[in-house]
Amino acid sequence: MTAGLSASAQLSDVTDIDDLALIYIGSQHRPEWGKEQFKPYVMHTYPNGTSSWMFDGFLMIEFQAYNENGSIVSFGESNGLGAQKPDWERLIKVQLGIETGQGCKALDDLIGELIPKLGKPGHKHKVVLTLPVAEAKSGITWGSINGRKLNFQYQEDREEAMKWYIDYAIDLWNKAGFKNIELDGVYWTKEAFTPSYKSFLINMNNYYKSRKLHTYWIPYLNAPGYDCWDDYGIEVAYQQPNYYFNTDYPHSRLEQAVERSWTYNLGLEMEFEGYNYSWSPGMDKAKPYTPGNIGLYGLNPKYYQRLVDYIDYFEETEVFDFKPIAYYSGFQGVYDFEKSGHPKDKEVMDRLALLINKRHLISNWDKEPSAGIGEAVLSDIRIAYGLEGAIYIDDSVEGDIAVYGIDGRLVYDNVATVESTRLTAGRTIPCQPGIYVVKVGSRSIKVAVK
């Protein structure tokens, strides 16, 4: 089985995940999550052309969707109708990308394509899956298991449904045959827990642990249960500061969240978005939400400053040095910043990526940013030839292909999103005169272009 407990802990006492990206996927109003959208979440490229891995963990999160009638249904943190069994089944299939090739499938494929450039990370990238919380309001209509119709008015039936879900999810995960990602745990969608949930939570969390999965939770600021989360059997919890979302909130709100994280052994959530969106439940329910403008600094410097406040204060209070961090980025904030074109948006992502890389150096998960050629093995066969004004890639080569300047700057690669710059075997690519390094898989060769 691919699901399994981590072999060693990093900044957390429990999980190897240092930096957990929240990926909102599972509802019809969410944008696409293919390789293009995942790429800036997986790899960051700096102004000098060097690159490093970005987030080492991915939370596939959703709290609501739309049923076949177009009505909002809840997965545990929504005022919608109680989700039914078909809604649960659709959620996991969308998040794994079984039918679409997006979600976990796209993430797994992308990481495999980037390993030849960045090198294998210290452990596989980890995935945490959303738990649809069985709610009493789903009543007697949720569905059946092994021919028995469940009634969600009863705790034992709610527990049976949630056990069925994770067994189903693990089975689908294993059948998917992912090579570069590992199932690490499950996430409680509901963001507040009162004592009335205690026996339910303990029973379920014990079951998830028996399936060798960690349990995650991210309560909002002042949410009931934030100060006793481990009593419920939850293993990894992060505190939401909720500071970003209102420019009238004082800085003391961020300070309070950080103080509580130290007091109650919580990780922290960093919060930002890539644009100012005005989406609300019920809008564009049949289509993914696509913002008209992306980036942030040029749209609203006040919210941009909120993000800077998080980074500044997390540095000042040593959160980056000692705490696991979850990153809320709205619909696709990191991708939006990548596409923004505004230098300030690029600048803040460069800063954040360097801080994340520093954390990964400490945990031995990644190495310093490089151009991807430092550890290349010199080729004992001719894989490329320098021509006049061009480089020819031999038609017999196999593996991921990249061309670098002698200064380490990436010139071309085979995972480029633009067809005209994508490398393939047997292709001649134009280049200015100079010395280049051609890398195919783990092998490289220097060629001179006249």
Kindly tell me if the per-residue pLDDT of 110 is higher than 60: yes
Residues 6 or more apart whose CB falls under 8 angstroms from that of 236 comprise: 12, 14, 15, 17, 185, 214, 215, 216, 217, 267, 324
pLDDT over 80 (residue 418): no
- Residue 3 falls inside a structural domain: no
295 and 164 share a domain? yes
Verify that 216 and 330 share a domain, yes or no: yes
Evaluate if residue 374 carries a pLDDT over 60: no
Model confidence, pTM: 0.81
What mean pLDDT comes out for the span 6-29?
A: 83
One-letter amino acid of 189: T
Query: Burial of 341 by CB count in 10 Å (0-12 exposed, 13-18 middle, 19+ buried)?
Result: exposed
CB 408 within 8 A of CB 447: no
> Does residue 319 share a domain with residue 190?
yes
Weakest-pLDDT range from 173-187, 220-234, 413-427: 413-427
Q: In 10 A of CB 448, how many CB atoms?
A: 12
Last residue of a domain, one of 362, 386, 418: 362
Range from 21-30, 341-350, 390-399 carrying the lowest mean pLDDT: 390-399
The residue from 314, 329, 362 where one domain ends is: 362
Do both 183 and 285 map to the same domain? yes
Q: Can you give the pLDDT at residue 36? A: 95
Are the C-beta atoms of 200 and 155 separated by less than 8 Å? yes
Kindly state whether residues 242 and 381 are assigned to the same domain: no
Same-domain status, 234 and 345: yes
The Cα 372–Cα 358 span in angstroms is 18
Residue 436 domain boundaries: 377-449
Do the bridges between strand 19-24 and strand 325-328 make them parallel or antiparallel, or are there none, so unpaired? parallel
pLDDT score for 446: 81
Q: What is the phi-psi region of residue 386: left when phi exceeds 0, alpha when psi lies from -120 to 50, beta otherwise?
A: beta
Residue 8 in domain: no
The upper half-sphere exposure of residue 100, i.e. CA atoms within 13 Å in the direction of its Cβ, equals 21
Average pLDDT over residues 106-120: 94
Could you give the number of structural domains in the chain? Answer: 2
Q: Note whether residue 11 is domain-resident.
A: no
Domain end residue (candidates: 362, 394, 417): 362
Structure tokens at 213: 């999965």
**DSSP state string for 170-201:** HHHHHHHT-SSEEEEEEEE------GGGHHHH
Q: Is residue 240 part of a domain?
A: yes
Per-residue model confidence (pLDDT) at position 173: 98
Q: Are residues 335 and 403 in the same domain?
A: no
Q: Are residues 277 and 381 in the same domain?
A: no
Same domain membership, residue 333 and residue 209: yes
User: Does 92 have pLDDT greater than 60?
Assistant: yes
pLDDT value at residue 276: 54
Does 35 map to a domain?
yes
Instruction: Give dist(CA 396, CA 285) in Å, integer.
Output: 48
CATH number of residue 386's parent domain: 2.60.40
pLDDT in tens, 57-76: 999 999 999 998 889 998 98
Comparing C-alpha atoms, which of 282, 405, 353 is closest to residue 54? 353
Which pLDDT band, with edges at 50, 70 and 90, does 377 fall under? low
Q: Is the pLDDT of residue 2 over 50?
A: no
Q: What is the pLDDT of residue 22?
A: 98
Within-domain flag for 10: no
Q: What is the pLDDT of residues 222-274, one digit of tens each?
A: 999 999 999 999 999 999 999 999 999 999 999 999 999 999 999 999 999 98
381 and 354, same structural domain?
no
Instruction: Return d(Cα 186, Cα 392) in angstroms, integer.
Output: 48
391/321 same-domain check: no
Query: 434 with 332, same domain?
Result: no
Residue 309 is assigned to a structural domain of this protein: yes
Which pLDDT score, from 0 to 100, does residue 416 have?
A: 52
Asked if the structure places residue 42 within a domain, the reply is: yes
Share of the chain above pLDDT 90, in %: 64
- Of 31-45, 71-85, 383-397, the range with the highest mean pLDDT is 31-45
Q: Is the dihedral of CA 291, 296, 300, 302 positive or negative?
A: positive
pLDDT digits (tens, 9 = 90+) for 271-311: 999 875 444 444 444 444 555 557 788 778 899 999 999 99
Better-scored residue on pLDDT, 228 or 398: 228
Q: What's the pLDDT score for residue 147?
A: 95
Of 303, 322, 438, 307, residue with least CA distance to 381: 438
pLDDT at 35: 96
Domain containing residue 147: CATH number: 3.20.20
